[in-house]
């Protein structure tokens, strides 16, 4: 394997090695728990939005859970995360408290940004989660800044910069590719290709159909991965993260995934047939895939039900906390505006 092109880079969709199990049974149960937590949390957030308890924009991660869970399982303490406005799944996978995330969604004092950021703008320095950004593609340049900090400090920590296929052809993304490659920054670029940028299919919006190859002019290796398969995601993430930790520079992963809901809660998603969504749910659901895998290795249905019941209690508690936490004091309008020199 040379520095610029790992083996298999031109092979198209990444094929996980099923003969070399990457998950122990306990790890697979952990992945199941994390994905169910994200799914049930997002479903509850959608309900609260419908009740008028969440204002502004709210972009749900339902359907895409395998992407962030698989990648997160290959990270270590100190690795940094940054993403777009579809960010609740990344927060939960990073270990942020569901209470704090839900309270931020409802604009309450107990939220991660003390109720001032809402769905798109919350952060956790403790968990190395740097947002949540509402400007399409803006987080990518910040992501290489995090990677530059890692390299400058002489650590082997990596930065994960998530963005959607709708942002993948922006100029600032290509400028970020150039700088990351030029300085060999330890950044994994992750395109979450859910096939629709707002209401426009990627087939109509992008001349490049192989987004995983978009970094090739700068020598950035890439993979296209089945983002509905947490095992494939984790194996591809392991290769990408190891490449970055070795000081070889950035890596690009295109995750072929699918969102079941509209672009945001205000989007009825009439631009795609219901049959398409139903087919994805029936035949490609990432949680159902893991459930089948666990059952096939001897985990019984009762244990999976216990995991789901635990998740349900956590989500109910988070929603109750979010509704009972007080609204921010008006004095909060003047905080977090400037940093004292």
Query: For the chain, which domains are there?
Result: 25-320 (3.40.50.970)
Of 150, 106, 111, 108, which Cα lies nearest the Cα of 128? 150
CA atoms 270, 166, 209, 7: torsion sign:
negative
Of 65, 127, 143, which Cα lies nearest the Cα of 94? 127
3-class DSSP assignment, residue 86: coil
3-class DSSP assignment, residue 73: coil
Which pair of tokens denotes residue 88?
Answer: 């609740």
**What strands, in cross-sheet order, belong to the sheet with 159-164?**
80-82, 159-164, 187-193, 251-256, 222-226
The helix or strand, by DSSP H or E, that contains position 182, with its residue range, turns out to be: helix 171-182
Residue 72 and residue 94 in contact, taking contact as beta carbons nearer than 8 Å: yes
State the burial class of residue 312 (Cβ atoms within 10 Å of its Cβ: 0-12, 13-18, 19+).
middle
Put simply, whether the predicted model's pTM sits higher than 0.85 gets the answer yes
3-class DSSP assignment, residue 205: helix
State the burial class of residue 19 (Cβ atoms within 10 Å of its Cβ: 0-12, 13-18, 19+).
exposed
Question: How would DSSP label each residue in 277-339?
Answer: HHHHHHHH-HHHHHHHHHHHTT--HHHHHHHHHHHHHHHHHHHHHHHHSPPPPGGGGGSSSS-
Question: Can you give the pLDDT of all 341 residues of the chain as single tens digits?
Answer: 334 443 333 445 677 776 667 899 999 999 999 999 999 999 999 999 999 999 989 999 999 999 999 999 999 999 999 999 999 999 999 999 999 999 999 999 999 999 999 999 999 999 999 999 999 999 999 999 999 999 999 999 999 999 999 999 999 999 999 999 999 999 999 999 999 999 899 999 999 999 999 999 999 999 999 999 999 999 999 999 999 999 999 999 999 999 999 899 988 889 999 999 999 999 999 999 999 999 999 999 999 999 999 999 999 999 999 999 999 999 998 998 888 77
């Amino acid at each position: 394997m040379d520095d610029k092109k790992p083996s298999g880079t031109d092979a198209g969709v990444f094929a996980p090695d099923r003969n070399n199990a990457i998950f122990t049974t306990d790890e697979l149960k952990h992945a199941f728990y994390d994905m169910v937590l994200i799914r049930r949390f997002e479903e509850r957030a959608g309900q609260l939005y419908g009740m008028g308890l969440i204002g502004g924009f709210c972009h749900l991660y339902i359907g895409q859970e395998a992407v962030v869970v698989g990648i997160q399982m290959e990270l270590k303490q100190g690795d940094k995360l940054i993403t777009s406005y579809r960010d609740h799944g990344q927060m939960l996978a990073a270990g942020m408290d569901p209470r704090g995330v839900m309270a931020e969604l409802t604009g309450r004092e107990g939220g991660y940004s003390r109720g001032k950021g809402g769905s798109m703008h919350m952060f956790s320095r403790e968990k190395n989660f740097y947002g949540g950004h509402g400007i399409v593609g803006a987080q990518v340049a910040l992501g290489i800044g995090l990677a530059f900090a890692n390299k400058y400090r002489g650590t082997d920590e990596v930065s994960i910069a998530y963005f959607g296929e709708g942002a993948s052809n922006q100029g600032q993304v290509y400028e970020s590719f150039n700088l990351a490659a030029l300085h060999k920054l330890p950044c994994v670029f992750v395109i979450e290709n859910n096939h629709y940028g707002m209401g426009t299919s990627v087939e109509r919006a992008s001349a490049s159909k192989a987004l995983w190859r978009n970094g090739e002019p700068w020598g950035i290796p890439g993979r296209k991965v089945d983002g509905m398969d947490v095992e494939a995601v984790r194996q591809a993430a392991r290769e990408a993260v190891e490449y970055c930790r070795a000081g070889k520079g950035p890596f690009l992963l295109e995750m072929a995934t699918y969102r079941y809901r509209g672009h945001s809660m205000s989007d009825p998603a009439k631009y795609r047939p219901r049959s398409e969504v139903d087919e994805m749910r029936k035949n490609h659901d990432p949680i159902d895939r893991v459930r089948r895998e666990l059952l096939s290795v001897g985990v019984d249905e009762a244990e999976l039900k216990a995991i789901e019941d635990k998740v349900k209690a956590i989500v109910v508690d988070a929603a109750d906390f979010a509704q009972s936490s007080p609204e921010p004091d008006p004095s909060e309008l003047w905080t977090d505006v400037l940093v004292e020199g």
